Structure 1
Amino acid sequence: MRTNHSAATRAHRVSRALSSTKNPMNSAEPRNHDRILWLGLLALLLSAACGTSANPGPGTPDPVRTYRIRRLADSPVARNGHVAIGLADGSALVMGGNSSEAINLPDSSSTQRFDPTTEAFTAGPMLALSALDREFTVPVPLRAGAFLLVGGGINSGTVLGTHPAALSQRFDPVRGEFVRSGDLKRVRSGDATATLLADGRVLVTGGGSLAAPFSETYDPATEQWTIGENLLVGRRGHTGTLLADGRVLVAGGFVCCTGNGQIFTDAAEIYDPTTGTFQLTAPLRQARGFHRATLLADGRVLLSGGFGAAGAPDFEALAASEIFDPVTEKFSSVGGL
Structure 2
Amino acid sequence: MADVSGHDDVRDGDREGAGGGVRAGELADVRAARPEAIAEAAAARRRRSGPPGASGRLLIIAADHPARGALGAGGDLTAMADRRELLDRLCVALDRPGVDGVLGTPDVIEDLLLLGVLDGRLAIGSMNRGGLAGTAFEIDDRFTAYDADAIAASRLDGGKMLLRVDDGDAATVRTLEACAGAVSALARHRLMAMVEPFVAHRVDGRVRNLLTAEAMIRAVSVASGLGVTSAYTWLKVPVVPEMERVMAATTLPALLLGGAAGGPGEVRDGWRRALRIPGVKGLVAGRALLYPPDGDVRAAVDAAAELL
TM-score for both structures, normalised by structure 2: 0.29
TM-score w.r.t. the length of structure 1 is 0.27
- Higher fraction of helix: 2
Relative CO higher for 1 or 2, CA cutoff 8 Å, sep ≥ 6?
2
Greater share of residues in strand: 1
- Which of the two has higher C-alpha Rg? 1
